[in-house]
Amino acid sequence: MLIFSNSIFLKTLFLILMILRTMVHIKCRSNYYPFGAIKRLDFPDNLVPWSVAFNNYHPPEYNSPNLLNKPWADPDITEPNFNPQWNELDDKVNRKSYMGVYNVSDGRPLNPRGRTGLTGRGVLGRWGPNHAADPVVTRWKLFDDGKREIDQSTNLYILQFCAIKRRDSDEWALPGGMVDPGEQVSSTLQREFLEEALNSLESTPGELESNKKMVSDFFSSGYEIYKGYVDDPRNTDNAWMETVAVNFHDEEGNLVGKFQLNAGDDAKSVQWMDIDQSLALYASHSLFIQTAAMLHGAHW
Ligand code: RP5
């Protein structure tokens, strides 16, 4: 894979990664929590870190009733038989954070990025970290004659990525998803791409076999662009999203180009989308896409 070596791009890339690791979370402090009428407590940025005293911090609590008895979700935190091993690999459930050791207060894990204005686990299945994986599948934008298209303002080639429209929020996003207990991130990346961008859940056995083979060949070499906390609107003080975002790039356009994109599972549509700074994507996905653009020295 071509990694752009120009020092300006590398500095920008470093800056984006720094922003991703340290920025104050914003999307998980939006007025209303997703899919319900619950309103988060509103407070200024300087009160986000737990290290800053906030004596009157009494946010509302929300625990979606839809999570109870779901095999992929934790029990209610008050359940006497629930003894989670925080900061550990708890049987097959990964309760470790990529952000380091998180604190636990009154038996509840604390969001490593600070306050969100809502306690409980909201709609997230796990208390503490909820691990996901995001495939960032890219190719160059080509004219019909196979030549690469250049953006007139930056004079740089235009990169495209495989985007899905989320069924839950109607926002464009990466075709990522949750890592199942005991699953390798590399398997999650392939499974989610197959499910959301190739509709593997409704494929015939023959299509499934050939798509699985194509995806496993194409995903055999990727470049990790991010690992850590995601500013996801579903985050709360006690449950949050973390991800590993990996770029799989089709330099010649003759591998992914063969894929017949077909939205499935949590995705209502799928398409190749031009990468540009005007993109407004779900959670922290715009920053992952920007990182991919910088990596390839593409237009942003
Ligand atoms: C985001 O939520 C991650 O970056 C990933 O894209 C996604 C996983 O959640 P689901 O799509 O499975 O709801 O925070």
For 14-63, what is each residue's pLDDT tens digit?
666 666 666 889 999 999 999 877 999 999 999 999 999 999 999 999 99
**Residues whose CB is less than 8 angstroms from the CB of residue 204 and which lie 6 or more positions away in sequence, other chains included:** none
CA distances from 73 to 38, 84, 182, 230 (A): 21, 12, 14, 19
CA of 73 from ligand 1 middle (Å) equals 15
Å from CA of 25 to ligand 1 middle: 16
Question: Three-state DSSP class for 219?
Answer: coil
Q: How many angstroms separate the CA atoms of 296 and 289, rounded?
A: 11
Do the domain assignments include residue 188? yes
Instruction: Give the mean model confidence (pLDDT) for residues 72-81.
Output: 95
If you compute the radius of gyration of the chain from its CA atoms, what whole number of angstroms results?
20
| Structural domains of the chain, count | 1
Residue 99 lies in a domain: no
**pLDDT value at position 19?**
67
Cα–Cα distance between 34 and 39 in angstroms, integer? 9
Q: Is residue 2 predicted with pLDDT exceeding 50?
A: no
Ligand 1 close to Cβ of residue 20 (< 6 A): no
The alpha carbon of 243 and the centre of ligand 1 are apart by a number of angstroms equal to 8
Rounded to an integer, the average pLDDT of 211-229 is 93
Distance of CA 73 to the CA centre of its chain: 19
227-284, pLDDT tens digit by residue? Answer: 999 999 999 999 999 999 999 999 998 887 667 787 887 888 999 999 999 999 999 9
241 lines ligand 1 (CB under 6 A): yes
For residue 189, the domain's CATH number is 3.90.79.10
For 120-134, what is the mean pLDDT? 97
Residue 244 belongs to a domain: yes
pLDDT value of residue 69: 87
Within a domain: residue 199? yes
Residue 34 falls within a domain, yes or no?
no
Residue 290 CA to residue 275 CA, distance in Å, equals 8
pLDDT value of position 205? 86
Q: What percent of the chain has pLDDT over 70?
A: 92
At 13 the pLDDT is 66
Ligand 1 atom nearest the C-alpha of 176 is 6
| Residue 246 Cβ < 6 Å to ligand 1 | no
**Distance of CA 149 from the midpoint of ligand 1 (Å):** 31
Q: Is the CB of 266 under 6 A from ligand 1?
A: yes
Cβ of residue 230 lying under 6 Å from some atom of ligand 1: yes
pLDDT, averaged across the chain: 91
- Asked if pLDDT for residue 133 goes beyond 60, the answer is yes
Q: Which of 130, 174, 242, 246 to mutate to test the pocket of ligand 1 (most atoms within 8 A of CB)?
A: 174
Distance, CA of 134 to CA of 186 (rounded, Å): 10
pLDDT at 120: 97
| Whether the CB of 179 sits within 6 Å of ligand 1 | no
Q: Is the pLDDT of residue 68 over 60?
A: yes
Give me ligand 1 centre to Cα 266, in Å: 10
Within-domain flag for 265: yes
Domain of 137, in residue numbers: 7-23+131-295
Residue 261 lies in a domain: yes
Task: Please tell me if the CB atom of residue 196 comes closer than 6 angstroms to any atom of ligand 1.
Answer: no
pLDDT in tens, 195-205: 988 887 877 88
Closest C-alpha residue for ligand 1 atom 7: 177
Residue 282, in any domain of the structure:
yes
Inform me whether the pLDDT recorded for 6 exceeds 70.
no
